[in-house]
Chain A
Amino acid sequence: MKKLCKNAAIMVGVVLLTYALGFLLRDVFDVWEHITTAFVFAVFLVALLTDGYVWGILSTFSAVLLINYAFTYPYFDVNFSATESLFSAAVMMVIALLTSGITTQLKRWKTLKAEGEMERMRANLLRAVSHDLRTPLTTIYGASSSILENYDKLTDTQKTRMIGGIQEDADWLIRMVENLLSITRIDSGNVKLIKTPIVLDELIDAVLLKFKKRYPAQTVTLDLPDTVIVIPMDALLIEQVIVNMLENVMHHAKDFTTLTLRVKMQDGWAVFEIEDDGCGIAKERMEHLFTGFNAAAADKADVHKRNAGIGLSVCATIIKAHGGTVCAENRKTGGALFRFKLETDEAENHE
């Protein structure tokens, strides 16, 4: 419905403007011969800016009628005796059809490209993740079988340490699987996200409860708007985005003292910012930050470093699927800042 109105408005607007231009050309500049050219251009514009073929064809008909009515003899009367008007009508029709055809194909190609990009991203993630799953499984399997088979030989301290290792790596696996589930929830591009209206305060509340469970000692400084803000979203996924970004700070920002979570409103969009005053993001990481895992890092032995690259790619995938944007930068005062934007209900009402 919205699309229909938009297309109709474009067509009527362009044709009427050209109609007015026609009078201007005739009465002020006295250049008759270019009036038809102006209408041909108008038809081209309509075909380019609207969806499908219908609007281009409609604009052709209205252009022919208007030219015939106002700019050919007899004036202000519709009369199809002159063959030249039929000729220009045919030209306009061909232009309309060709242009609409090209634009439609261009649009289809663009969606295909976006889907392909999504697909490549997911493939990258899967490869990185399945590679990474083996390390924690080694600990879990190895430690548990050691304890079972050598129960009497091991001291209590050794056993506790091994069980601790099992728990730590299982915890890592849980987070990895949560990320994987998020990706499958977005699914193969065809399935639309199910967005429900979520109150910002409740979202942040849920995020912080989850985060505090994992990092009880870390305080998060909050900077939120006072008003009640409702954002349509898949709450589980956005919760995951913020938790991932906070955890990313915990893993990668060295020597930071404050961790801030800020949300502000900007033209109907909610802008989320997660910033720290740590070491910032290294230049060579910046490029690959959101685009899947970093090949150089994947070769290193340190498992827990790698997981963050996946976390951020998941963030980017989720935000993209929500129609938002995500970016990262180094702050002038030191430290890193991650920012993403989501459209709020307000923005929808404004349209």
Chain B
Amino acid sequence: MNNNKYKILLVEDEANILTFVGDLLESNEYQVIKAESCTEAETLYASYLPDLVILDLGLPDRDGTEFLRGLRQRGELAPVLVLSARSDEAEKVRALDLGANDYITKPFGSAELLARIRSSLRFMRHSADAGKLPGGIFQIGDLSIHYDARRIYVGSEEIKLTQTEYNIVVFLSEHSGKVMTYSSIIKAVWREPTNENSIKKLQVNMANIRKKFGVKPGEFSYIVNELGVGYRMDG
């Protein structure tokens, strides 16, 4: 039984938050491992190899981003969901560029947290299934991307995109569930440095993509925009 459960490493030094998030996760059939400092998190990660890490950035011994950096340097791919107290774009972008998959701003509701966890775990499964292998088809909801044919469908209707627009969508799909910062997308699609001009180019392309998908502001769409940070493909 225990083997079928996803293991989640919860790193947080506030006792009350640790308790309530821990209880919430356990009641939703996740196995929870709790850590209250960077050092403890590193030890527990090595011995349990969790499927997902929920990481608070303000830890007593060291900044949470250091744990994150170490993890990615060792090539560990477990998704990391950052709990951020400050609604500060710069901090979010830094954590994302260091390899975090997503962030959630405190205070958050239980539904929101569970949704983000599910989405991050799905991302991990998707990477494991290697949807981008030759002949692979990427699918979330009604959206499907046929990588070989370079075609994109919503339901049975094909969406005609330009070369660049297609590249952006594919890049996001390859990292679905993960927030991709402006600079990471620009680097992957244009191989250019990030500046005001290249961000504007990306934003204009995204506006056209949204138009072609026929989504209106405030409606659910496959590509979620994280204002001032980046974009995320989500099912």
Which residues on A are within 8 Å of B, measured CB to CB? 170, 174, 178, 181, 196-199, 201-209, 211-212, 220, 222, 224, 228, 230, 235-236, 239
Which residues 186-235 of B have a CB within 8 angstroms of A? 196, 199-200, 203-204, 206-207, 210, 216-218, 225, 227-228
**Known contacts A181-B87, A203-B227: A208-B217 contact under CB 8 Å:** yes
**CA of A220 to CA of B217 in the docked complex: distance in angstroms?**
11
Q: Give complex CA distance A224, B211 in Å.
A: 13
Which residues of the partner chain A approach B196 to less than 8 Å between Cβ atoms? 197
- State whether the Cβ of B141 lies closer than 8 Å to any Cβ in chain A: no
Given A174-B107, A197-B203, A220 and B227 touching (CB < 8 A)? no
User: A201-B210, A220-B218 are contacts. A196–B203 as well, Cβ < 8 Å?
Assistant: no
B89 beta carbon closer than 8 Å to chain A: yes
Q: Which partner residue on chain B sits nearest A236 by CB separation?
A: B87
Chain A residues, CB < 8 A from B207? 199, 201-202, 228
Contacts of A205 in B (CB 8 A): 217-218, 225
Please, which residue of chain B has its CB at the minimum distance from the CB of A220?
B218
Q: Give me the 9 closest cross-chain CB pairs, A-B, nearest first.
A: A208-B218, A204-B217, A205-B217, A235-B228, A206-B227, A199-B203, A235-B227, A228-B207, A202-B225
Contacts of B217 in A (CB 8 A): 201-202, 204-205, 208, 222, 224
- For the residues of A in contact with B, the DSSP-based class is helix
Residues of B within 8 Å of A230, CB to CB, are 200, 203
CA distance A74 to B206 in the complex (A): 71
Q: A199-B207, A202-B227, A235-B227 are in contact. Are A212 and B218 (CB under 8 A)?
A: yes
Besides A206-B225, A206-B227, 20 new A-B residue pairs in contact (Cβ under 8 A), listed by A number: A174-B107, A178-B87, A181-B87, A199-B206, A201-B207, A201-B210, A202-B207, A204-B217, A204-B218, A205-B217, A205-B225, A207-B218, A208-B217, A222-B216, A224-B217, A228-B204, A228-B207, A230-B200, A235-B89, A235-B228
B202 nearest CB neighbor, chain A only: A199
Which residues on the A side are within 8 Å of B216 (C-beta)?
222
B228: which A residues are within 8 A, CB to CB? 196, 198, 235-236
**Measured CA separation A178–B207 after assembly (Å):** 29
What residues of chain A lie closer than 8 Å to B107, measured between beta carbons?
170, 174
Docked Cα-Cα span, A211 to B199, in Å, equals 27
Q: In the complex, what distance in Å separates the CA atom of A290 from the CA atom of B217? A: 28
Can you list 29 A-B pairs, Cβ within 8 angstroms, ordered by A?
A178-B87, A181-B87, A196-B228, A197-B203, A198-B228, A199-B203, A199-B206, A201-B210, A202-B203, A202-B206, A202-B217, A202-B225, A203-B227, A205-B217, A205-B225, A206-B225, A208-B217, A212-B218, A220-B218, A222-B217, A224-B217, A228-B204, A228-B207, A230-B200, A230-B203, A235-B228, A236-B89, A236-B228, A239-B227
CB-CB under 8 A from A174, the residues of chain B are: 107
Q: How far is the CA of A90 from the CA of B218 in the complex (A)?
A: 68
Give the CA-CA distance A174 to B52 in the complex, in Å: 28
CA distance A222 to B203 in the complex (A): 21
A208 to B196, CA, bound (A): 26
- Which residues of the other chain, B, contact A236 by a CB distance below 8 angstroms? 87, 89, 227-228
Output the least CB separation between B8 and chain A (Å).
24
Given contacts A199-B206, A202-B227, contact A209 B218 (CB under 8 A): yes
Question: Given the complex of chains A and B, what is the CA–CA distance between A181 and B86 in angstroms?
Answer: 9
List the B residue with the shortest CB-CB distance to A219.
B218
> Within 8 Å CB of A211, what residues of B?
218
Residue of B nearest to A210 (CB): B218
Within the assembled complex, what's the spacing in Å between the Cα atoms of A235 and B225? 12
Nearest chain B CB to A305 CB, angstrom units: 24
Q: In the complex, what distance in Å separates the CA atom of A224 from the CA atom of B218?
A: 13
Minimum CB distance partner of A174 in chain B: B107
CB-CB < 8 A to A203: which residues of B?
A: 227
Q: In the complex, A222 Cα to B196 Cα: how many Å? A: 28
Q: Assess the B200–A197 pair: CB atoms within 8 A.
A: yes
What is the CB-to-nearest-CB distance from B139 to chain A, in angstroms, rounded to a whole number? 24
A273 to chain B, nearest CB (A): 16
In the bound assembly, the distance between CA atoms of A154 and B227 in angstroms comes to: 45
B87 partner residues in chain A, CB cutoff 8 A: 178, 181, 236
Q: How far is the CA of A88 from the CA of B39 in the complex (A)?
A: 80
Q: For the complex, what is the distance from the CA of A174 to the CA of B87, rounded to whole Å? A: 13
Distance of A201 Cα from B207 Cα, bound (Å): 8
Is A222 touching B218 in the complex (CB atoms < 8 A)? yes
Q: How far is the CA of A59 from the CA of B87 in the complex (A)?
A: 51
Residue among B204, B216, B218 with the highest chain A CB neighbour number at 10 A: B218
Contact status B204-A198, CB under 8 Å: no
- Complex Cα spacing A212 to B196, Å: 31
Q: Is the CB of B218 within 8 A of A198?
A: no
Contacts of B204 in A (CB 8 A): 199, 228
Q: Which residue of chain A is the closest to B90 with respect to CB atoms?
A: A194
Give the chain B neighbours of A202 by CB distance below 8 A: 203, 206-207, 217, 225, 227
Which residues does chain B contribute within 8 Å of A170, judged by CB atoms? Answer: 107
Chain A: minimal CB distance from B91 (Å)? 12
The residues of B that contact A196 with a CB separation of less than 8 Å are 89, 228
B contact residues around A222 at 8 Å (CB) = 216-218
C-alpha spacing A227/B107, complex, angstroms: 36
| CB closest chain-B residue, reference A209 | B218
State the Cβ distance, B185 to closest chain A Cβ, in Å: 14
